[in-house]
Structure 1
Amino acid sequence: MEALRLILLYLHLIGFALLLGGGIAQFVTGKLRINPAMLWGSIIQVITGLGLAAPLRGGGDNEPDPAKLAVKGVIGVLIFIMVVIPWRKKRENVARGHFIGIIALTLVNAAVAVFWR
């Protein structure tokens, strides 16, 4: 079971890298649009996040706070929605505030994971 958790955690980190890296790359170029890396990163983040949270509901010593899981879940779903809607509508450009919001929420989600104990 530990091997599965580590594989999910590894994939979760890859999703984070895709989402943040894709967002920063687009931001630096100046053309604010949702790229495939951001889309797949958000999908991977939500799916692996659910997988990481689900087996932890058994009640062990290392179980994270349910409030932390809820906050991370809500932020993850918000990011997913903010990425998927412009992607589905095939928008060439995303509003600057919307795009910065995706990047900021991605960083906040990582901060919750690291600093909330």
Structure 2
Amino acid sequence: MTTLQNVLLFAHLLGMAAIIGGYAAVAKAPRAVPAMVWGARAQLLIGLAMVGVASSQSWELNHVWVAVKLLIAFVVVGLLEVAQSKEKKNEVAAPLVTGAAVLAVVNVAVAVFWH
């Protein structure tokens, strides 16, 4: 199971890179590029899978930490989904995209410093 957890972690980090890298690519005129939206979706689902694997192996989990990361991930996905929808209607969505990128970085900080 450790191999599965490592593969999931690798994919999870690729999702984070898609969000942050996608934002960096359009930072001068923020918009919800597909890589960001799909990266956020992937991060959410893969993160849940990682928690499931850890739980199935009776690994010790900090459930408050998991809940905080899950909440932030839901907000990131929500912001990017709404931004993508607004952009299809030619409405301004740059603040939503920037907010999602900032929260993605916050989620990385939570993962690194609170564990």
Q: Same fold (TM over 0.5)?
A: yes
Summarize the alignment of residues 57-72 of structure 1 with structure 2, pairs less than 5 Å apart: 57-58=55-56, 59-60=58-59, 63-72=60-69
Which structure 1 residue ranges, 5 or more long, are not aligned?
Answer: none
Q: Determine the C-alpha separation between the residues in 1 that align with 2:41 and 2:55.
A: 22
1:103 is aligned to: 101
Match of 2:75 among 69, 75, 78: 78
- Shift, 1:96, TM fit: 4.1
Which structure 2 residue ranges, 5 or more long, are not aligned?
Answer: none
Amino acid at match of 1:88: S
Q: Determine the C-alpha separation between the residues in 2 that align with 1:46 and 1:6.
A: 16
**Number of equivalences:** 113
- Shift, 1:21, TM fit: 0.4
**Larger deviation, residues 4-13 vs 92-101:** 92-101
- Shift, 1:93, TM fit: 5.9
Q: Determine the C-alpha separation between the residues in 1 that align with 2:85 and 2:93.
A: 15
Q: Determine the C-alpha separation between the residues in 2 that align with 1:67 and 1:23.
A: 28
8 A contact 2:83–2:93 mirrored in 1: no
- Aligned CA distance change for structure 1 residues 35 and 78 (closer, same or farther; 3 Å): same
Amino acid at match of 1:103: A
- Identity among equivalent positions (%) equals 35
C-alpha RMSD of matched pairs (Å): 1.6
2:49 is aligned to: 51
